[in-house]
């Protein structure tokens, strides 16, 4: 097969394996590798009909930088490809390569936001992959580091990682296409350049094809890393909490594991707070729980580890910005049977609970333990009961002012106890997790898979109760506005299904329903800007009053398109109904007629909204933690 055919097949296979994105942004340096990827993508675009645009980052580090940007702009104009140049300033201090990489990726992120691209295509090739492996080996690394760059990492797509650079140059030569050469690549003061010019040629001379085989090895190691991640997830779901602010693992189970697996586990725990460990720090952290005594260890960035008899905790440098744990609640039990277990179920003298609220422990809180006359601070109360120090600030209590009436899970206060003079009794049941719980002990237990989904949330933005209340209010409002009419409710699949069905039950009108499926997101976190109808309506809307129900209005492109289509089909009126409205992301002028909530520019999931088809079944709307969709830092970009 020709070089052109091999490259086309490679990119096509990779394109389909990542979900056939509908909008691609190509990072274009003007070198042979990025230009080869450009021409292959242009051919693929004619077949797959995706949106393609290019971005060039001008670092202004070389005299010829401006001329190169102008040359690329001229080429893109001839090819009729949307093209944007970002002029950036590389700050002084630190590694010039690292600083340039940082501002380059910031520019890439801006370009993705402007274009609505789902993926950023970069043309790293097999030679780059081999160089990355050698650099990491020289610095010291394990299997994770040697896996080097991945084909798809967050939103960054690298389809050429198994392709040698000489193939890309040969392809351009066949086309008669010139490319740019970066003169700074000759500077062997930079480690990558020194490896490229001094080391890899000798390796190829000693063992021809060694760079290609190293790239293949990186791919094998990457596949094994994915497999190891499954085992890590399984272990952590049973023996650890990754839900900030309660990050810990169980010491007893941890000590049973081989040291190689321990290293993976502690690195995963630290990654929740963005803490990166070197080899010596990793091994020291693995050894911290060995004695079974309370001990601490300072971690990078001011964070720390805290080992107790039962757990190994990871604590952030600051609690600022760290979300509170998901709150529990207390429910009243109608039928009183006994006094309860004193832990999660407790009978009280109702008259002594006036104005009591469920909250976390606060400084200054005091309690009179059951059976005692004098009070003591909650700090001492929790310490006496061997509660791990990291749990104490998050311990739920039922309190009036600074007087604690019930330390949930531990015991009630004498001041709220039932006695011979009690006239009114009430029994509360606490429903929720206590610090240290890995699953709820009440009937509201989550499955292990569900726990993992909850742990993926940075915070709960809108609770299940808030959603229910808003949907009821919205249904009542629509019922009033459309009194005497028989509107058609159109659900936009798939995200709006939960909201749609709950809303219909609150609308007390004769109505009909229909469904449309629209493609604009694919598997990314940003709308692509390209709208296609995947499933059309089953019924005519001519002369009908239509309400289009969506889960979220973001850019407005999808609903603007649908509203136009329905108007052209003769609908008498078209109103827009959404659970969530995100006006900061709007790219077109669009008025939303009915919105339950207006939210900030954060990536949300749950209650029908997904990321890569996950999280739809969460009962609330949560903010997905960025670590699940942001790009992992790469060693080198175009």
pLDDT digits (tens, 9 = 90+) for 109-166: 999 989 889 999 999 999 999 999 999 999 888 888 899 999 998 899 999 999 999 9
User: For 183-192, 336-345, 395-404, 612-621, which range has the lowest pLDDT when averaged over its residues?
Assistant: 336-345
Residue 246 DSSP SS3: strand
**Catalytic annotation, pick one of 243, 502, 551, 554:** 554
pTM listed for this prediction? 0.63
Query: For position 290, what pLDDT does the model report?
Result: 94
Query: For position 521, what pLDDT does the model report?
Result: 46
CA-to-CA dists, residue 315 to 40, 319, 394, 434, 453, angstroms: 48, 9, 13, 18, 21
Q: What percent of the chain has pLDDT over 70?
A: 92
Contact 52, 21 (CB under 8 A): no
Query: For position 431, what pLDDT does the model report?
Result: 85
pLDDT at 630 over 80: no
User: For 77-91, 276-290, 514-528, which range has the lowest pLDDT when averaged over its residues?
Assistant: 514-528
pLDDT at 525 over 80: no
pLDDT digits (tens, 9 = 90+) for 44-61: 999 988 999 999 999 998
Nearest 5°: the CA angle 452, 456, 458 is 145
How is residue 118 written in tokens?
């789902």
Query: For position 635, what pLDDT does the model report?
Result: 39
Rounded mean pLDDT, 57-70: 93
pLDDT at 333 over 90: no
Query: For position 457, what pLDDT does the model report?
Result: 79
Q: What is the mean pLDDT of the chain?
A: 88
Query: For position 456, what pLDDT does the model report?
Result: 72
pLDDT bracket for residue 455 (50, 70, 90): low
The dihedrals phi and psi of 434, each to the nearest 5 degrees, come to -95, 155
pLDDT bracket for residue 528 (50, 70, 90): very low
Contact 527, 558 (CB under 8 A): yes
Radius of gyration of the chain (CA): 30
The DSSP H or E segment spanning 539 is: none
Query: For position 330, what pLDDT does the model report?
Result: 86
Task: Render 426-469 in DSSP notation, one character per residue.
Answer: EEEEEESPPTT-SS-SSTTPPPHHHHHHHHTEEEEEE-HHHHHH
Nearest 5°: the CA angle 190, 193, 198 is 115
pLDDT bracket for residue 629 (50, 70, 90): low
Query: For position 82, what pLDDT does the model report?
Result: 96
How is residue 105 written in tokens?
């990726």
Cβ of 632: how many Cβ atoms within 10 Å? 10
Query: For position 451, what pLDDT does the model report?
Result: 44
Query: For position 520, what pLDDT does the model report?
Result: 57
Residue 233 appears among annotated catalytic residues: no
Report the C-alpha gap between 117 and 108 in whole angstroms.
10
Rounded mean pLDDT, 320-329: 79
The dihedrals phi and psi of 458, each to the nearest 5 degrees, come to -75, -35
Report the C-alpha gap between 377 and 360 in whole angstroms.
14
Sheet holding 621-624, edge to edge: 457-462, 621-624, 604-605
pLDDT bracket for residue 561 (50, 70, 90): confident
How is residue 56 written in tokens?
């060039």
pLDDT at 399 over 80: yes
User: For 143-152, 321-330, 444-453, which range has the lowest pLDDT when averaged over its residues?
Assistant: 444-453
Report the C-alpha gap between 176 and 320 in whole angstroms.
57
Give the range with max mean pLDDT: 144-148, 206-210, 531-535: 206-210
Determine the straight-line distance between the first and last CA of the chain, rounded to whole angstroms: 28
Query: For position 453, what pLDDT does the model report?
Result: 65
Query: For position 447, what pLDDT does the model report?
Result: 38
pLDDT at 468 over 80: yes
Q: Which residue has the tokens 């399984």?
A: 234
Rounded mean pLDDT, 457-478: 89
Largest CA distance in the chain: 99
Report the C-alpha gap between 23 and 286 in whole angstroms.
44
Residue 522 DSSP SS3: coil
């Amino acid at each position: 097969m020709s070089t052109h055919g091999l490259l086309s097949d490679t990119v096509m296979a990779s394109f389909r394996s990542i979900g056939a994105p509908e909008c691609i942004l190509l990072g274009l340096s003007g070198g042979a590798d990025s230009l080869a990827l450009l021409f292959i993508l242009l051919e693929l675009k004619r077949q797959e009909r995706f949106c393609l645009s290019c971005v060039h980052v001008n670092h202004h580090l070389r005299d010829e930088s401006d001329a190169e940007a102008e040359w690329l702009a001229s080429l893109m104009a001839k090819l009729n490809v949307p093209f944007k140049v970002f002029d950036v300033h590389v700050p002084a201090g630190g590694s010039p390569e690292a600083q340039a990489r940082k501002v380059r990726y910031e520019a890439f992120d801006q370009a993705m936001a402007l274009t609505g691209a789902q993926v950023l295509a970069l043309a790293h090739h097999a030679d780059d992959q081999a160089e990355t492996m050698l650099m990491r080996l020289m610095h010291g690394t394990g299997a994770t580091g040697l896996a080097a760059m991945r084909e798809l990492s967050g939103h960054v797509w690298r389809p050429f990682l198994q392709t040698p650079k000489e193939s890309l140059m040969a392809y351009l030569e066949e086309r008669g296409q010139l490319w740019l050469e970066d003169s700074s690549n000759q500077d062997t003061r930079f480690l990558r350049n020194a490896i490229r010019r001094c080391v890899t040629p000798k390796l190829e001379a000693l063992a021809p094809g060694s760079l290609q085989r190293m790239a293949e090895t990186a791919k094998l190691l990457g596949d094994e890393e994915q497999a190891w991640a499954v085992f890590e997830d399984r272990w952590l779901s049973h023996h650890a909490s990754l839900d900030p602010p309660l990050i810990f693992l169980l010491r007893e189970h941890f000590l049973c594991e081989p040291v190689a697996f321990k290293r993976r586990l502690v690195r995963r725990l630290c990654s929740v707070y963005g803490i990166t460990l070197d080899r010596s720090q990793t091994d020291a952290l693995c050894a911290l729980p060995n004695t079974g005594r309370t001990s601490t260890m300072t971690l990078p960035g001011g964070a720390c580890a805290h080992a107790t008899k039962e757990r190994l905790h990871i604590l952030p440098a600051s609690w600022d910005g760290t979300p509170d744990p998901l709150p529990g609640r207390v429910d009243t039990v109608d039928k009183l049977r006994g006094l309860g277990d004193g832990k999660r179920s407790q009978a009280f003298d109702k008259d002594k609970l006036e104005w009591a609220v469920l909250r976390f422990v606060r400084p200054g809180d005091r309690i009179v333990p059951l059976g005692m006359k004098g009070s003591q601070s909650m700090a001492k109360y929790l310490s006496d009961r061997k509660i791990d120090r990291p749990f104490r600030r998050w311990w739920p209590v039922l309190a009036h002012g600074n007087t604690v009436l019930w330390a949930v899970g531990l015991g009630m206060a004498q001041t709220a106890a039932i006695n011979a003079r009690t006239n009114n009794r009430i029994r509360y049941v606490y429903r929720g997790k206590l610090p240290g719980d890995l699953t709820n002990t009440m009937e509201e237990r989550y499955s292990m898979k569900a726990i993992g989904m909850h742990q993926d949330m940075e915070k709960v933005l809108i609770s299940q109760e808030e959603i229910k209340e808003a949907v009821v209010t919205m249904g009542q409002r629509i019922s009033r506005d459309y009194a005497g009419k028989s509107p058609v409710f159109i659900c936009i699949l798939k995200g709006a299904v939960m909201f749609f069905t709950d809303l219909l039950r609150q609308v007390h009108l004769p109505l009909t329903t229909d469904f449309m499926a629209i493609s604009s997101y694919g598997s990314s976190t940003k709308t692509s800007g390209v709208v296609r109808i995947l499933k059309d309506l089953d019924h005519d809307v001519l002369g009908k009053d239509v309400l289009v129900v969506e889960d979220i209005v973001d850019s407005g492109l999808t609903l603007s398109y649908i509203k136009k289509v329905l108007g052209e089909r003769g609908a008498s009126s078209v109103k827009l109904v959404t659970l969530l409205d995100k006006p900061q992301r709007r790219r077109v002028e669009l008025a939303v007629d009915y919105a339950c909530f207006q939210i900030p520019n954060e990536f949300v999931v749950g209650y029908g909204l997904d990321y890569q088809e996950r999280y739809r079944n969460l009962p609330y709307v949560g903010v997905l933690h960025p670590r699940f969709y942001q790009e992992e830092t790469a060693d080198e970009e175009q």
